Structure 1
Amino acid sequence: MSELRRLAKEVFGWSRLREEQLRAMELVMAGHDVLAVLPTGAGKSAIYQVPALLHSGLTVVVSPLVALQRDQIEAIEASDAPKAVALNSAQRAAEHRGSWEALRAGTAKYLFLAPEQLAKPDVVRRLAELDVSLFVIDEAHCVSAWGHDFRPDYRRLAPVVDLLGRPRVIALTATAAPPVRRDIVERIGLRHHRAVIGGFDRPNLHLAVRRHDDDHRKRADVLAEVKRLAPACGLLYVATRKESEEYARQLAEAGVRIASYHAGMSAADRDRVQREFMDGELDVVAATSAFGMGIDKPDVRFVVHASITDSVDSYYQQIGRAGRDGEPATIVLFYRPGDAGVQKFLTTHPPRADAVEEVTDALGEHPEPIGLAQLKGEVDLPPATSTRVVNLLEESGAVHTTESGHITTEDSGLTAEQAATRATEFAGARQRAARSRLLMMSGYAETTGCRRQYLLGYFGEQLDEPCGNCDTCDAGTARHRSPDDCEFPRHSHVRHRDWGHGVVMSVEEDRLTVLFDEEGYRTLSLAAVREQDLLQSEGSTGS
């Protein structure tokens, strides 16, 4: 521990390390794979940057965005740490060659790259020739279909770890509810792992929900709220690209320094908006969920959501961009029950089973990899549907896309029928997970209890006393919890007669929230549970 502290101070200039950082570092040095779930701003990068100095080999860091990679490399360059390089699609040929030369020469200690790079056999082969001692997966929640930002490329990391000689693995994320943590461990294949879970509470954020039944009135109130809060620095999150542009235009006409941000913009325009926001040239960004990963601006004073999000996970991550300096910040969700239907359509609309079967039958007729354009020409489906089916097949592991972009079932070892079955089952599981998350988000918007208690309960934390810093506490509707009086205490195992095994996540006076293995989160009335004998206790999991 003293050596870790010394290196942190002398090399990186960190005079103090948090308890969770030190604990995770010690576990890495003791030979364990580590899952660290720590809030943004808690210094997750230190968990690998410092131990890397005590290992002779290379530290590979999987990071999903080029901007995130750039930020991490700049931070390392500003310290006395060894050289850091990147391999990504934004590099010129000379930069790419320079990175490989530094890696082969042993002058680079840290390598940053996106998971898509590790889908290239040549990249993995060349890395396997080096001495990789630490393999770090940033934003590790992307591996989980239970999470809010699932990315199929993260699913391919487990075999890569084996091909690199099974270096020690560190999985890092700021947002991972219990099912996501379980998925990370299983999908990445962590061995002899230890988990370090930080607290999720952000007591400086004032939480509030404004309920509306009329969409026009809701939009007017969103505009009024942002105008009231500006010119303080803030974020306005919206559901669609069109809303991003409309809100930005109307607020700009009202004198707010604002810009829109969404995935339909060019990369150059997105970079410009992000840079202007970080530099203080913009006060507000009206954004879809495409904005935010890697944004670390300490003085964001408010986050307003014009509509409900698809999950508590993504909501928590987005509001977590406020008040990182520890000062008070305002969090407001504008909620109209009908908005949940839009999110349900956006997140739980898988391809039809017959469309999946048609694509897998076509693939089964080709023993060699086939291009997507050719495949689309051989099926009687709209092109967009064919693309969605192929994406689903790839996400489920039923097919594999080669480096040249061709599709094959060769690596999966599945017949066409088996591939269709796997993809359909995977789609069903994702649909249940998405509906479960959306139900929990609606529950947050509709609760009359303490909103902070609700949020923390979702992540498996218990806050017995109302927080005193949310709208329900202000209104006096939040009440003290008496979890010890319940026959189904938090973290206990239960079995539902229809939904099977689950774990109690939180307990309120009249209800409890259970995370079921197959059905996801469900909030149950205690009165109904008792009257209908819905749950059977199976013991406790511990804390």
Structure 2
Amino acid sequence: MKLEEHLKQYFNYTAFRTGQKEVISSILDGNHTVAMLPTGTGKSLCYQLSGYLLNGPVVIISPLLSLMQDQTEQLMMNGEKRVIAFNSFLTSMEKNQALSQLDTYKFIFLSPEMLKSDFILNRLKELQIALFVIDEAHCISQWGYDFRPDYLRLGDFRRELGNPLTLALTATATQEVKEEVISSLGLKKWNEYIYSVDRPNIALAVEVVDSYQDKSDRLVELVQTLEGPGIVYFSSKKMAEKMAIQLKRYGTNRVMAYHGGMEQENRVLIQQQFLHDQLDVICATSAFGMGINKENIRYVIHFHMPLQLESYLQEIGRAGRDGLKSIALLLYSPGDEQLPYQLAEGELPSKEQLDFVYRLLEENKDLIKDLAERDNEVRSLSGLTEIQWRLVEDYLFRNTDKPVQQRFEQLKDFINERLQVKRKKINEMLKWTQTQLNGCRRKNILKYFEEDKTIEINDCCDQCGIDLNVFYSKTDNHKSADNFFDWKKHLAKILLVSERD
């Protein structure tokens, strides 16, 4: 049977998107595979269809709870019941029950932190894993924009699981990052499928405004005139909520804010309403988008400047997945780069926080022995966020043969290096917003990923020329939400609180 026939059988699609067939063929031929596919081209199908055609379970390592949940929901909505995501949506009882019958699942989603559990790792060792998948594989690289310490251990975990057939997936990775991913996973021989990050159907534009008020007014105007649906990205939870209220005040009724500080049930509800065309606009932080399989998003607006080109590409890639014309607009006002600098510094522990933790451990010698059980106590006392603590914890438990002081000094050196990387990426993003000095925006973003612009595109970018009339609304986007939909029943299914089969 041809792969296209399997695609029709399992997913009711008639044709593959860019790179999917090549990656799946490589896996089915028994090759470790590294794939960089553009955002919006369906990376998840690469392991899902391969999984159906291989004997044994597929283990997927995913960095975000929301991404895991999205992929799990999509599989379940496609009729697949042999899927489990080990995350905070599961109660302890549900988690233990799932682990006791782990061999009955076809798709097993895990965060890299979960693999630190000896019990979970030992249960995985009992399986004949058909495919080991690292989603968002750029998180492995210390020089990637979204580094996660626990991703560095995936090579060790992979060896403990017997070096199963491996697929590493990402949408944005420089050559340096890709090489570190391969090295960290310990791949000796592999096939590589690297496709352009370019999405030719998405026009790129930056609008410079003088002030915050001008930016707010312009956002209202854009949302009222552009063909939707659309996503507006903010770097601030508070600002996402504030602008959602303002948009409603000016007549855009079907709009909601979305960010990581909301209750899980509310986030899932808003996400599903957007997917089912009951909302036209989402005012979101970067917590929204990964795994969102909505093909008709017509615009993505950035109210705040992203911290790097990689995440910018990820976020604008949510537009135009149906291949139709869409637009990405970044609103910039002088000084906007200060917020990214502050956010970058806030993601990492400060010297003062590290010194406090060090003194705490020196004064309480037994504390480091019980750190795994008392980590919340140390976090609370030091004021570290969960993300900051993961980094500290990783260095404290790694290289345990070295004195604690030496580990802290190494951590400080690493944080300084990470901060320099983050500042460099913010500067690159800022430089890109000022592309009017250097020509085509698309050419410059491709150059960053060591690509050349090889095709001429109508409505390429604001520097090459865009006909904005193409993107203006031709119908009334502000429809009334009068279509009946049983959200209580639908949410119960999604949140896995209904009776399981």
Give the TM-score band, short-chain normalised: 0.7 to 0.9
Q: How does 1:21-170 map to 2 (within 5 A)?
A: 21-76=20-75, 83-92=82-91, 95-104=94-103, 107-170=104-167
**Is contact 1:58-1:132 (8 Å) kept?**
yes
Which of 318, 343, 357 is matched with 1:359 structurally?
Answer: 357
User: Structure 2 vs 1, CA of residues 258 and 55 (structure 1 numbering), >3 Å: closer, same or farther?
Assistant: closer
Contact 1:393 1:423 in 2 (8 A): yes
1:481-500 aligned at under 5 Å gives the runs none
Partner SS state of residue 296, structure 1 = coil
Distance in 2, Cα, partners of 1:211 & 1:339: 11
Q: What letter is aligned with 1:252?
A: K
Give the residue type in structure 1 aligned to 2:264: A
Displacement, 1:101? 4.8
Structure 2: gaps (5+ residues): 468-501
Letter in 1 for 2:299: F
Instruction: Report matched runs for 1:467-478 at 5 Å.
Output: 467-468=457-458, 469-474=460-465
Distance 2:96 2:386 in 1: 34
Looking at structure 1, the residues matched to 122 and 442 of structure 2 have their Cα atoms a distance apart, in angstroms, of 48
- Asked if 2 retains the 8 angstrom alpha-carbon contact of 1:12 and 1:80, the reply is no
> What code does the residue aligned with 2:271 have?
Q
Closer, same or farther in 2 for the Cα pair 1:315/1:362, shift >3 Å? same
CA 1:356 to 1:78, structure 2 compared with 1: closer, same or farther past 3 Å? closer
Higher strand share: 1
Matched residue SS, 2:163: coil
Q: Name 2:492's counterpart in structure 1.
A: none
The one-letter amino acid paired with 2:407 is A
Q: Paired residue for 2:250?
A: 254
- 1:372 matched to 2:375: yes
- Cα 1:145–1:348 change in 2 (3 A) is farther
Whole-Å separation in 2 of the counterparts to 1:67 and 1:358: 33
Q: CA deviation at 1:22?
A: 2.7
Percent of pairs identical after alignment? 34
Code of the residue aligned with 1:413 in structure 2: it is D
Aligned equivalent of 2:414, options 422, 426, 440: 426
Report the Cα offset of residue 316 of structure 1. Answer: 0.8
Q: Which moved more, 1:219-228 or 1:277-286?
A: 219-228
Query: Do residues 322 (structure 1) and 319 (structure 2) align?
Result: yes
1:172-213 deviations in whole A, cap 9, x for unaligned? 122223333233223333332232112222111121111123
Pair 49,425 (structure 1): closer, same or farther in 2 beyond 3 Å: same
Structure-2 separation of matches of 1:412 and 1:194: 36
Q: Equivalents in 2 of 1:434, 1:374: separation in Å?
A: 29
SS at 2:19's partner residue?
helix
| Structure 1 counterpart of 2:193 | 196
Distance in 2, matches of 1:430 and 1:119, equals 24
Deviation at 1:362, TM superposition (A): 4.1
Q: Distance in 2 between matches of 1:81 and 1:258?
A: 32
1:141–1:132 distance in 2 versus 1, CA, 3 Å: same
Q: CA RMSD in A?
A: 2.9
3-state DSSP of counterpart to 2:447 = helix
Counterpart secondary structure, 2:463: helix
**Distance (Å, rounded) in 2 between the aligned partners of 1:386 and 1:308:** 23
Letter in 2 for 1:369: D
Query: What is the aligned partner in structure 1 of residue 445 from structure 2?
Result: 455
Residues 436 and 328 of structure 1, relative CA distance in 2, 3 Å threshold: same
Cα distance in 1 for partners of 2:345, 2:424 equals: 10
Q: Deviations over 1:32-63 (max 9, x none)?
A: 32111112332322322333345433221123
1:208 aligns with 2:205: yes
Question: Residue 300 of structure 1: which of 292, 297, 300 is its match?
Answer: 297
Cα distance in 1 for partners of 2:65, 2:466 equals 45
Q: Does structure 2 retain, via aligned residues, the 8 Å contact 1:363–1:375?
A: no
CA distance in 1, matches of 2:352, 2:76: 53
The answer (yes or no) to whether the contact 1:226–1:304 under 8 Å persists in 2 is no
**Contact in 2 for aligned 1:360/1:420 (Cα 8 Å):** yes
Displacement of 1:243 in angstroms is 0.9
Report the 3-state secondary structure (helix = DSSP H, G, I; strand = E; otherwise coil) of the residue aligned with 2:411: helix
Alignment partners' CA distance in 2, 1:160 and 1:316: 30
The higher relative CO (CA closer than 8 Å, separation ≥ 6) is in 2
Q: In the alignment, what sits opposite 2:276? A: 279
CA distance in structure 2 between the aligned counterparts of 1:148 and 1:157, rounded to whole angstroms: 18
TM-score of the two chains, using structure 2 as the length reference: 0.82
Q: CA deviation at 1:226?
A: 2.0
Q: Is the 8 A contact 2:443 2:453 kept in 1?
A: yes
Separation in 2 of the partners of 1:363 and 1:293? Answer: 38
Q: What letter is aligned with 1:219?
A: S
In structure 1, distance between residues paired with 2:338 and 2:452: 30
1:302 Cα deviation after fit? 1.0
Alpha carbons of structure 1 residues 131 and 462: separation in structure 2 relative to 1, 3 Å: same
C-alpha distance in 2 between matches for 1:7 and 1:475: 41
2: CA distance between counterparts of 1:307 and 1:191? 42
**What SS does structure 2 have at the residue aligned with 1:218?**
helix
Alpha-carbon spacing, 1:384–1:103, altered in 2? closer, same or farther (3 Å): closer
In the alignment, residue 299 of structure 1 is paired with which amino acid? N
Q: d(CA) in 2 for partners of 1:79 and 1:372?
A: 40
CA distance 1:10–1:265, shift in 2 (3 Å): closer
